[in-house]
Amino acid sequence: MKCKINRNAAKVLKDMLKTPEAEGKMIRVVITQNHGNHGHYAITLDTPTEHDEVVATDKDIEVLLDTREPLLDGVWIQFFYVPEEGFFITNPSTGFLEK
């Protein structure tokens, strides 16, 4: 499985991992709604399970992806400050964008 992260997202995710709530946890991308050919994504803090793949990124952040969810393979995590601050998670292989 693959996962890309832009520089802004890497900074925010690294800050998230420094919080007390993140102790012993990793970044996880989840599908909040699955519509078959596309999904709605979110970021959580979690621990690995038997169905997870720990995916290394080029930003030195490991991300948990559930191998049972094909829509997670190839996700791109971005963070933008304008027009409004927040994560923007896409999967170019599905052609669907979700914030």
Q: What is the pLDDT of residues 39-97, one digit of tens each?
A: 789 999 999 999 999 999 999 999 999 999 999 999 999 999 988 999 999 988 876 55
> By three-state DSSP, how is residue 22 classified?
helix
pLDDT for residue 95? 64
Sign, CA dihedral 11-27-41-97, equals: positive
What backbone torsions phi and psi does residue 21 show, to the nearest 5 degrees? Answer: -65, -20
pLDDT for residue 30? 96
63 burial (CB, 10 Å; 0-12 / 13-18 / 19+) is: buried
Q: In the predicted model, what is the mean pLDDT of residues 27-39?
A: 84
pLDDT for residue 93? 80
> What tokens does 31 get?
């599908």
User: Cα(91)–Cα(75) distance, rounded to whole angstroms?
Assistant: 4
What are the structural domains, with CATH classification, of the chain?
Answer: 3-20+27-93 (2.60.300.12)
pLDDT for residue 40? 86
pLDDT for residue 35? 73
pLDDT for residue 96? 55
